[in-house]
Amino acid sequence: MRDGHTRREFLKRTAAAGGAMALAPLGAFAAEGAASAPAEMAIARWKAAAVTSPEEIKAMAIKLTEQAISAIGGMGRFVKKGNVVWVKPNMAWNNGPEFAANTNPDVVATLIRLCFDAGAKQVKVGDKTVHEAQKSYPASGIEAAAKAAGAEVVYLDDNRVKEVELKGKRLDKWAVFPEIIESDLVINVPIVKHHSLSKVTLCMKNYMGVVGGDRGQWHQDITTCLCDITAFMKPRLCVLDAIRILTAHGPTGGSLDDVKRMDTLAAGTNIVALEAFGAELMGHKPDDIPLIAAAAAAGLGTADYRTIPLRELEVT
């Protein structure tokens, strides 16, 4: 990566940060509000009357995103003037937003706007899709929303991947899309979905969209592979879209019967904490998800999200 940090340095930093967090008085952040040091994770829940129309859902998505980002210190904490930011939603499936297979387009558009407000020079949006990008980008609604917000929507070129050293437990080297990892910041914006192998697909699995090659092999040891790619990506900001969640037949979806409205969004710096929160939303105990335990053991974050500086917002 551009800054030349090794995974080892990253892990040291993560461990140090985790230690500092452990020492911080619990609950202090939630009590003191935005005046003190920013939270490491924010959960924004819609508490106004239930909304149904597309315009109302859009307005809700914007508010949830803005307030969650603000609660963890604002986008200026992550984006410096002149930065190139890659927003990485899940836009891999040729399905409309209502089917909850792809990230909410208004969440993505709001993040783009916040990046520009924080001084980003360029914001790019793209995903290594499962269905053809030419189909899934427009179908997800993200292409239009991202373009309207001023981002460049990138159709990744399968022939332009670069093999990098992951030096993971399972993955030694793998082909990634250089355009993504050369960005100054990658914002990971998945949607909460069911998955028959890992039970849930959240932030860590969203990183499968930055790699090329035959990702299918990873499923033979999905836990270790996702820990390896997450360690490589050094997540700094993840935004978990749980406005709609896909409760069954994921990750493709396709039936509205499997979609549930949660009207919730979480943002944070601790990817494992977000994974745990997402697993709870899906009705699982985080301990029952092998990926979360493995990621915590690998030092990628904290499985018990209530122990880190957390703000829970009621958005109206």
Contact positions vs other proteins (CB under 8 A) = 94-95, 130-135, 138-139, 152-155, 157-160, 194-197, 214, 216-217, 219-222, 247-255, 257-258, 260, 282-283
Nearest to 18 by CA among 249, 274, 303, 217: 303
Residues in CB range of 4: below 8 A, 6 or more apart: none
Q: Minimum distance between the CB of residue 43 and other proteins, rounded to whole angstroms?
A: 20
Residue position matching structure tokens 């997540």: 235
Query: Is the Cβ of residue 237 or residue 259 nearer to other proteins in the bound state?
Result: 259
Three-state SS sequence of 20-85? HHHHCCCCHHHHHHHHCCCCCEEEEEECCCCCCCHHHHHHHHHHHHHHHHHHCCCHHHCCCCCCEE
Minimum separation from the CB atom of position 138 to other proteins (A): 4
Considering Cα of 210, then 213, then 219, then 222, what sign does the dihedral take? negative
Give the list of residues 6+ apart from residue 56 with CB closer than 8 angstroms, or none.
none
Nearer to other proteins, 87 or 133 (CB): 133
Identify which of residues 41 and 222 has a Cβ nearer to other proteins in the complex: 222
To other proteins, the closest distance from the beta carbon of 267 in angstroms equals: 24
| Eight-class DSSP state of 175 | E
Q: How far apart are CB 107 and other proteins at their closest, in Å?
A: 22
- Pick the closer one to other proteins by CB: 9 or 288: 288
* Token pair belonging to 57: 């859902």
Closest contact distance (angstroms) between CB of 220 and other proteins is: 5
Q: Which is nearer to other proteins, 210 or 267 (CB)?
A: 210
State the nearest-atom distance from the C-beta of 230 to other proteins, in Å. 19
Question: What residue has token string 């899940």?
Answer: 90
Beta carbon nearer to other proteins, 42 or 240: 240
